[in-house]
Amino acid sequence: MAKYRNELPQLSGDFFITTGGVGTSLIFDEHIELPCFASFTVLKDEAGCQWMVNYLSTFASVAQKYNVGLILETATWRAHPECLRKLAYSEEDAVNVNHKSVELLCGIRDKYETEQCPIVISASVGPRGDGYTPSAIMSPEQAKNYHATQIGVLSQTKTDMIAGLTLNYPEEAIGIAQAAKEVDMPITISFTVEKDGKLPTGQSLKEAIYLVDEATDKAPLYYMVDCAHPSNIVHTFLADEDWVERIHGIKGNASKKSHAELDECTELDSGDPLEFGADNQELLCKMKHLNIFGGCCGTNYRHVEEICKSCIPVFHQLEHNKRRYTV
């Protein structure tokens, strides 16, 4: 039985962290080839499973150290039908890899969770195409039908929620949200943006969120922005606009480079963890309702720990101010 599916603790507004860039860590740090950028391929043997547990446990240690919540993310971002077919996975393999990804996280939760450090298991669902460049754009109905297979499998596991990550056009986000809604799964949506703060389609984040909310009757519990450096998106958010308050999380890249520049990189750009923490703090000061912070490409536990150092004191001060002004 899923532990938090009916009452996700991050909805309380408490401070939560997420994991970092598992794919880039595997490729650049471990020198493991990932066909289709599919991190789940390392789960095919015991050594790969142990690496994944060790990697994710570093974030659990950080969460424990700072007494904050943690959203553990499965390695299922690419475990959808088309990618699985390209990698010659059978239907049975597809079910097994999605289940195994969740089971590994349950083991980490059993070891690290405390009353001050609740650990949520989030099943990642990624885009059908490239995360940086939308190619064949599906209609919402096509997207729902396509992603329903994986989401249906994940709904039968102990995962607490579904997270549509690195989505680059609203129609696919709508389909994912609708597919999750049909099997009563909590769903969050995370869009990726370019350095100008717009989706790769050229649409604004504001437009994308409005379109998804309108089409799904606000099915996503909240939105996030991922795969972009915090300093590249801070200019996007204007205070006092209602759509901004739908965004509760940021999963930033370590690098300030554009998606096109990152695609050409032959070495990992891990940026500056200290600066990364400070830039997330700047976002928090501007968007005071943010409570979920983590990393994407090029990040590891060091980046997330710097977020904790920079943001937690500010977060608590903001919470104190809210209580003071509402009394």
Of 248, 124, 225, the C-alpha closest to 176 is 124
Helix (H, G, I), strand (E, B) or coil at 105: helix
- Annotation-wise, does 311 bind a ligand? no
| Long-range pairs, 89-93, Cβ under 8 A, ≥24 | none
Percent of residues in the chain assigned helix, strand, coil, to nearest 5: 50, 15, 35
Q: CA–CA separation, 98 vs 75, rounded Å?
A: 8
Q: CA–CA separation, 164 vs 173, rounded Å?
A: 7
Q: CA–CA separation, 238 vs 259, rounded Å?
A: 24
Residues pairing with 70 in the sheet: 17, 119
- Annotation-wise, does 36 bind a ligand? no
Per-position DSSP letters for 293-307, written without gaps between them:
EEE-TT--HHHHHHH
Q: CA–CA separation, 212 vs 98, rounded Å?
A: 26
- Annotation-wise, does 285 bind a ligand? no
Burial 208-241 (b: 16+ CB within 10 A, else e): bbebbbebbeebbbbbbbbbbbbbbbbebbeeee
**Token pair for residue 219?**
């099915």
Strands 223-226 and 187-192: parallel
Burial 258-272 (b: 16+ CB within 10 A, else e): bbeebeeeeebbbbe
Q: Name the binding residues for Zn(2+).
A: 227, 296-297
Q: Name the binding residues.
A: 227, 296-297
